[in-house]
Amino acid sequence: MFQKSKKLGILGGGQLGKMIALAAGNWHFPIKFLDKKSDFPTARYAAEFVEGNFKNYDDVLAFGRTCDVISIEIEHVNTEALLQLEKEGKTIHPAPEKLILIKDKGLQKQFYADNNLPTSAFQLLDNEEIVKKEIANGNLSFPFVQKTRGEGYDGKGVAVIKSEDDLRKLLSGPCLIEELVDIEKEIAVIVARNEMGEVVSYPVVEMEFNPVANLVEFLICPSDITEEQAEVSDKLARAVIEKLDLCGLLAVELFLTKKGEILINEVAPRPHNSGHHTIDSCFTSQFEQHIRAVMNLPLGSTKMKIPSVMVNLLGADGFTGEAFYDGFESCLNVEGVNLHLYGKTVTKPFRKMGHATIVDKDLEEAKRKGKFVKDNLIIKTK
Ligand code: ADP
């Protein structure tokens, strides 16, 4: 059947692409990927892999013309080419205009405000000089958070400004200024929607931070919040995908504030780090769900089979070069530990090289095992 099915093309061939390719492999599904080099994580597992730059107009256009449906595993793709492909009759999920809105943190934030979706107070400013002027004029006061409107990723386009002294950390260019939220917990909900208008949502997950490094240490499913808070989060995530009128997967990052409010932080219209655990702990993985959603297939059950803890496996500090996985075998010995290594050839300090999902009915036990994996699986050079 799938030989005759429409062909799906994905822009991007990193770890998210690899996990989409593995899910597609279960169905022998016709799928192809576009990314720079055929030693990227996806290439080995993709039915087809095309070398090219997803930021380049001509590369995206040529690639898209060989597909029926086009989707992404990263937002920062050439949207002009996608708009042209849309004109030529291709199905594109998420739609290019939605991608343009989401890629710009300012437009995204304005969308929440226009649709009465709860988010922190904000203003949009043209550059860092204007930020300083607004402070001098008394229109802006410390503390606040500054985010670049373009390509931020993993906190790199975010500055927390608490005092005059922090002004040297100001990022240049057009920016979004947000109120500094008093965060109790950072949580996320992944939702999916198809052209038939079906919507499904995964259980709420929670990020647990390492208090010393201030980095996400564990991603826990289900989150330890009240039933009511979980319901509000779920409703919000569904409202965002409906109001965006978006097809595909949408990861909705939320803040639970100290006062008990739930605010939308930002969204990503693709599989997301906060959904990696679904491979091992839910009925349908987020990667299979993405394929189902963009191909307008029936959506899969999002029910949790077993609680889980997900740990990102980062390159050890001080090592750059060909990756070597020290402690791999001792981790394989631990019941419930599922290792997912992305196969990136080069490790760098704190680069995401893989993740481990630990499934266990007892979340405390899962965390203990997660800590064991973190301490024992060291990604370095030989
Ligand atoms: P990125 O897209 O780079 O992941 P985010 O917008 O998610 O950027 O911000 C990164 C982190 O910064 C969040 O996970 C949160 O810890 C912190 N943060 C972001 N916005 C705020 C805010 N308004 N108030 C307090 N902390 C914030």
Residue 212 has a pLDDT of 73
What kind and span of H or E run contains 350? none
Q: Give the residue, out of 105, 122, 145, with the most ligand 1 atoms within 8 A of its beta carbon, to mutate for a pocket test.
A: 145
| Cα–Cα dist 26/293, whole Å | 16
Residue 338 has a pLDDT of 98
3-state class (DSSP) for residue 31: strand
Residue 2 has a pLDDT of 57
352 and 314 Cβ atoms separated by less than 8 Å: yes
191 and 269 Cβ atoms separated by less than 8 Å: no
| Cα–Cα dist 274/223, whole Å | 12
346 and 40 Cβ atoms separated by less than 8 Å: no
Residue 20 has a pLDDT of 98
Residue 210 has a pLDDT of 79
User: From residue 347, how far is each of 188, 246, 322, 342 by CA, in Å?
Assistant: 28, 35, 6, 11
Indicate whether residue 180 lines ligand 1 (CB < 6 A): yes
From the CA of 181, give the closest atom in ligand 1.
24
Indicate whether residue 257 lines ligand 1 (CB < 6 A): no
Which fold is adopted by the domain 121-179? Answer: Dna Ligase; domain 1 (3.30.1490)
% helix, strand, coil for the chain, step of 5: 30, 30, 40
Give the chain's end-to-end CA distance (angstroms, integer). 46
Residue 155 has a pLDDT of 63
95 and 269 Cβ atoms separated by less than 8 Å: no
From the CA of 120, give the closest atom in ligand 1.
23
| Cα–Cα dist 193/70, whole Å | 16
For residue 155, the CA-to-ligand 1 centroid distance in Å is 6
Instruction: Write down the domain spans for the chain.
Output: 8-92, 121-179, 183-380
pLDDT tens for the chain, 382 residues long, are: 555 679 999 999 999 999 999 999 999 999 999 999 999 999 999 999 999 999 999 999 999 999 999 999 999 999 999 999 999 999 999 999 999 999 999 999 999 999 999 999 999 999 999 999 999 999 999 999 999 998 765 667 899 999 999 999 999 999 999 999 999 999 999 999 999 999 999 999 999 987 777 778 899 999 999 999 999 999 999 999 999 999 999 999 999 999 999 999 999 999 999 999 999 999 999 999 999 999 999 999 999 999 999 999 999 999 999 999 999 999 999 999 999 999 999 999 999 999 999 999 999 999 999 999 999 999 999 8
Residue 144 has a pLDDT of 98
The encoded tokens of residue 174 equal: 């057009």
What architecture (CATH level 2) is domain 183-380?
Answer: 2-Layer Sandwich (3.30)
Indicate whether residue 155 lines ligand 1 (CB < 6 A): yes
| Cα–Cα dist 289/301, whole Å | 9
Indicate whether residue 265 lines ligand 1 (CB < 6 A): yes
Indicate whether residue 181 lines ligand 1 (CB < 6 A): yes
Residue 306 has a pLDDT of 98
For residue 306, the CA-to-ligand 1 centroid distance in Å is 29
| Cα–Cα dist 49/185, whole Å | 39
Which residue's alpha carbon is at the smallest distance from atom 16 of ligand 1? 186
Write the single-letter amino acid at 250. L
Query: Across the chain, how many H-helices and E-strands are there?
Result: 11, 22
For residue 43, the CA-to-ligand 1 centroid distance in Å is 32
From the CA of 216, give the closest atom in ligand 1.
14
Q: Strand (E) positions, 180-330?
A: 183-193, 199-201, 205-209, 216-221, 248-257, 262-268, 308-314, 321-322, 324-326
Nearest 5°: the CA angle 379, 380, 382 is 130
Instruction: Please tell me if the domain spanning 121-179 has the same topology as the one spanning 183-380.
Output: no
For residue 158, the CA-to-ligand 1 centroid distance in Å is 7
Residue 5 has a pLDDT of 79
| Cα–Cα dist 200/203, whole Å | 10
DSSP characters over 258-301: TTS-EEEEEEESS--GGGTTHHHHBSS-HHHHHHHHHTTPPPPP
| Cα–Cα dist 13/20, whole Å | 9
For residue 111, the CA-to-ligand 1 centroid distance in Å is 18
Q: Which of 28, 263, 261 is nearest to 252 (CA)?
A: 263
305 Cβ partners below 8 Å, 6+ apart? 281, 282, 283, 359
For residue 44, the CA-to-ligand 1 centroid distance in Å is 34
Indicate whether residue 88 lines ligand 1 (CB < 6 A): no
φ, ψ at 16 (rounded to 5°):
-70, -40
Q: Give the residue, out of 180, 206, 265, with the most ligand 1 atoms within 8 A of its beta carbon, to mutate for a pocket test.
A: 265
355 Cβ partners below 8 Å, 6+ apart? 273, 276, 310, 311, 312, 313, 340
| Cα–Cα dist 35/83, whole Å | 19
What architecture (CATH level 2) is domain 8-92?
Answer: 3-Layer(aba) Sandwich (3.40)
